[in-house]
Each structure stands twice: as structure tokens, then as C-alpha cells.
Amino acid sequence: MSEAVAQAVGDRFRELYGDRPQGVWAAPGRVNLIGEHTDYNDGFVMPFALPHTAVAAVSRRDDGVLRLHSADIDAGPVELRVADLTPEADTSWTAYPSGVVWALREAGHEITGAD
């Protein structure tokens, strides 16, 4: 991730939440060229990174609130209660990140909230 992208994402985070994020991370897209779900079943798979990248700016919260925003969605942040997260309760674009938070909580990790 370029410094300019990290700066732009951090600036937008500050506009939305009033402070700089505690961190900005990026992950490349991925595709499996040969087969799906075969790599963990002793089959052959050839994953490779795509030029498309997901970038996340995050700060911890201590009030049990998860606020999510996507630059691809023309709307403000979505606010969810960490304690209320359950499988299939969320069917919007926020289902994936909120599902990760739910899974971490179910695995015994203390999740206090995040922007």
C-alpha cells in the first residue's frame, strides 16, 4: 500500500470519526486458479494476488459499539452492538466484517468495539 493511499484513508477516517485511526492495513485480492476448497483437502490449487486491494483503517472503542463504513457505499457509518452480533442477523455489506468480530468473540477474545 502506498503512503498516499494510507494517508487518504486515514484522512477520511478522521472526517468520519473525529480522530486518526490507530492503524491502516491493506490486503490484496486473491483468486484460486485451479479448484476451490481443494487446497485443504490435499488437492491442487494455485492462489495468486490480484491488483485489487482492501484497505482498512481501525481504532479501538471501549463501549461495545462496532461502527463500519465503506468508501464504496454512499452512506454514513453503520453502528452495531458487539453483544448483539449473531450469525445471519446482518444481511447487508457489513455482514462480513461483523461476522469476523462475532467469530473472534465466540472464540473467547474480548472485543470492546471498533471504528
pLDDT tens digits for range 30-64: 887 776 666 666 777 777 888 898 999 999 999 99
Does the pLDDT at position 23 exceed 80?
Answer: yes
Query: For residues 42 and 27, which has the higher predicted lDDT (pLDDT)?
Result: 27
Rounded Cα gap, residues 74 and 58, in angstroms: 19
Give the model's confidence band at 15: pLDDT under 50 very low, under 70 low, under 90 confident, else very high: very high
Mean of the per-residue pLDDT values of the chain: 90
Enter the pTM of the model: 0.81
Parallel, antiparallel or unpaired: strands 23-32 and 78-81: unpaired
Rounded Cα gap, residues 64 and 61, in angstroms: 7
Q: For residue range 69-107, what is the model confidence (pLDDT) as tens digits?
A: 999 999 999 999 999 999 988 889 999 999 999 999 999
Report how far apart, in Å, the C-alpha atoms of 32 and of each of 37, 42, 51, 85, 93 are: 9, 15, 14, 30, 23
Tell me which residue of 54, 51, 48, 50 sits closest to 32, measured CA to CA. Answer: 48
Per-residue pLDDT at 107: 97
Q: What share of the chain is helix, strand, coil (3-state, %, to 5)?
A: 30, 30, 45
Per-residue pLDDT at 103: 96
Per-residue pLDDT at 2: 85
